[in-house]
Structure 1
């Protein structure tokens, strides 16, 4: 007599695919994704196909998140070394054979033109989390030195392109892993103190060190210009300071409730530069006002808070370090973008997560969210 095996129903198989997805994290993603679509239509309805392309990119990011969420952290750990190695190799190839635009060699033609530094935003925390997982229970000071070398090589290659913004983001992602791995506060506090002293000195002596002909050691002229423009954007209001000044005007003119959906004058009269990409926060502030900014910030707080909770509950050291670094990287993106548009940080090419237009940035966001969801699922699906 042959055995009869009952086939699971389609509904049951679908449920198994989505089982373990974190509800609060999905809610925060839906909140920010919906806001991004509204803002992109309002700011970019007269800017070609930006809204349609943004919606497509967001759908692609959700697809990437869904696929990556199916991969358990143990499998993610297996791709850490290959992905990091490929990323560094591509950075070296970019330095040797890269495509140069506007004085920067950041792109590589491999049949299609790619920007290898974007890969390191994910590969770096993966690699360092893998390293500290391997050293769990036997961590020594020398292991932090090895971690610094793992971090320093690609950051130096990205700086050489030059691409200060991306290098800072990659460095931040790696430093978050090192911090969560147990780096001593005795090493962190002196660095923070030196940074604070440096900032105070730049502000205090800005008029002197920003004079023509004064060289800043270790920095290119355009990087010096960005900092000096931040200190006093009125030095060149129609040139280097234009972005900051117009962003501040747009933010201030929005008031509490904003000028209304699709009604931003600074935005649609082309005074706000890059209104659908790097400076989309200025467009949001003008059209939706302080209330719109609050809705955005609450969404980010929900996402970051849930991400840190998922990190804290991760089943392995690798999962905890990786999820924590990914979460704080998202915070860094949002903080740096809003800071530069508001005039409290230098202007760098950092997109606003979920809101800014950009395919590569959106796919990278989907990868990061997929990793968070993977860690959440691993905890939920663990046998009790």
Structure 2
């Protein structure tokens, strides 16, 4: 009887897997995304000062993102490739709209605001459109890419980078560029080009310092090098963030019992510095558990990348997965004082509607690449 029960349970699991496959849903991705979203809502409730409206808006954004993800998952990868260039042009056009007619808030012009309808950041869309377009372009030609292909890809990267950096939003601009660079790297870029790019980092960094970076961005770098030089000014964020994480110890103070965020010592506690709230309330154990969920999600993305059956699918899935890793790495490094503060939110945990929907769109693309494999193989 026990053996028959095991067989029956196995049949049920196979049927469920078949249903998910027909709906073009990857069960593991969906499960891990729900786990992250649930953790995010718990931490956001505390970090946002028990603001229920903030929680409802974030949950609503996740619901919209989930719907967008499921819709994108139904799209065949070859159709994505066909429309990628058009989406890129639309994205650049929206960045130009922001440049001349964008909504200004907190000293930056990053949003398109349609009163009573929606307010969103077009720069977030380019995190998906840029790698998709470069993957489509490179996949149409023999790999590794020639110098001409690399040059064209570079132009496709530079245009949105400059427009986003002018908003100013250097953090998002760098993430958009990184997403495209990952596509180039995965396309089999020759080592001479990689070494050349590494050698160019220093002069490029000097040029950005002199001509691109704003005074407050330069101050962030100087603060990273020596936060104690201005403890009540530019160094306040990092010092309070590290104090919050350190005060949590191994197991934390308990949910809703953090002092740094609830007494307003920790700025931006519900956005860029939210992991400091997690560290204070749940300690090292809580942070490690969150990182494990992230690693499982990234590992699933790597599996999907390896199993992709087209060059376009491999390049795009790999770029999305590696870029997601960079999101987590940069935010955790930034909040713990290991990297300069660049305004990168923690995926699925930090508050932000457009960012959340964009992330879900990326995972919808991963699902589409993975679940359409059989169709591709027989087409």
Q: TM > 0.5 between the two?
A: yes
Structure 1 position 47 matched with structure 2 position 41: no
- Which of 169, 192, 207 is the equivalent residue of 1:186? 192
1:81-96 correspondence to structure 2 within 5 Å: 81-96=85-100
Cα distance 1:380–1:280, how it changes in 2: closer, same or farther (>3 A)?
A: farther
For these two proteins, the number of residue pairs brought into alignment is 359
- Which of 73, 78, 87 is the equivalent residue of 1:74? 78
Give the superposition deviation at 1:250: 0.3
Structure 1 position 276 matched with structure 2 position 270: yes
- Which of 347, 366, 371 is the equivalent residue of 1:372? 366
Cα distance 1:59–1:197, how it changes in 2: closer, same or farther (>3 A)?
A: same
State whether residues 272 and 344 of structure 2, in contact with CA within 8 Å, keep that contact through their aligned partners in structure 1. yes
Structure 1 position 305 matched with structure 2 position 311: no
Cα distance 1:79–1:38, how it changes in 2: closer, same or farther (>3 A)?
A: same
State whether residues 21 and 377 of structure 1, in contact with CA within 8 Å, keep that contact through their aligned partners in structure 2. yes
Give the superposition deviation at 1:32: 1.7
**2-side partners of 1:44 and 1:105: how far apart?**
24
Partner of 2:135: 129
SS of the counterpart of 2:272?
Answer: coil
Give RMSD over aligned pairs. 2.5
Structure 1 position 30 matched with structure 2 position 24: no
- Which of 158, 166, 173 is the equivalent residue of 1:160? 166
State whether residues 145 and 188 of structure 2, in contact with CA within 8 Å, keep that contact through their aligned partners in structure 1. no
CA distances 1:116-171 after superposition (whole Å, capped 9, x unpaired):
21211111011101101211468422111111111111111112222111100100
- Which of 25, 30, 39 is the equivalent residue of 1:21? 25
Cα distance 1:291–1:360, how it changes in 2: closer, same or farther (>3 A)?
A: same
- Which of 125, 133, 143 is the equivalent residue of 2:149? 143
Partner of 2:6: none
Give the superposition deviation at 1:219: 2.7
Give the superposition deviation at 1:190: 4.1
**1-side partners of 2:173 and 2:218: how far apart?**
16
CA distances 1:88-127 after superposition (whole Å, capped 9, x unpaired):
1122232233334444332334555432212111110111
State whether residues 45 and 51 of structure 1, in contact with CA within 8 Å, keep that contact through their aligned partners in structure 2. no
Partner of 2:3: none
**2-side partners of 1:285 and 1:173: how far apart?**
29
Partner of 1:6: none
Please say which of residues 40-49 and 116-125 is displaced more in the overlay. Answer: 40-49
State whether residues 95 and 161 of structure 1, in contact with CA within 8 Å, keep that contact through their aligned partners in structure 2. yes
State whether residues 315 and 378 of structure 1, in contact with CA within 8 Å, keep that contact through their aligned partners in structure 2. no
Cα distance 1:170–1:48, how it changes in 2: closer, same or farther (>3 A)?
A: same
List alignment gaps of at least 5 residues for structure 1: 1-10, 203-214
Give the superposition deviation at 1:302: 0.6
SS of the counterpart of 1:275?
Answer: coil
1:1-384 correspondence to structure 2 within 5 Å: 15=19, 18-44=22-48, 46-109=50-113, 112-136=118-142, 139-192=145-198, 195=201, 216-379=210-373
Cα distance 1:152–1:185, how it changes in 2: closer, same or farther (>3 A)?
A: same
SS of the counterpart of 1:183?
Answer: coil
**1-side partners of 2:375 and 2:289: how far apart?**
33
List alignment gaps of at least 5 residues for structure 2: 1-14
* TM-score after normalising by structure 2: 0.87
State whether residues 251 and 286 of structure 1, in contact with CA within 8 Å, keep that contact through their aligned partners in structure 2. yes
SS of the counterpart of 2:261?
Answer: helix
Give the superposition deviation at 1:29: 1.8
**2-side partners of 1:162 and 1:109: how far apart?**
17
Give the superposition deviation at 1:60: 2.0
CA distances 1:307-340 after superposition (whole Å, capped 9, x unpaired):
0110111121111111111111111111111111
* TM-score after normalising by structure 1: 0.86
Please say which of residues 20-29 and 296-305 is displaced more in the overlay. Answer: 20-29
Cα distance 1:148–1:22, how it changes in 2: closer, same or farther (>3 A)?
A: same
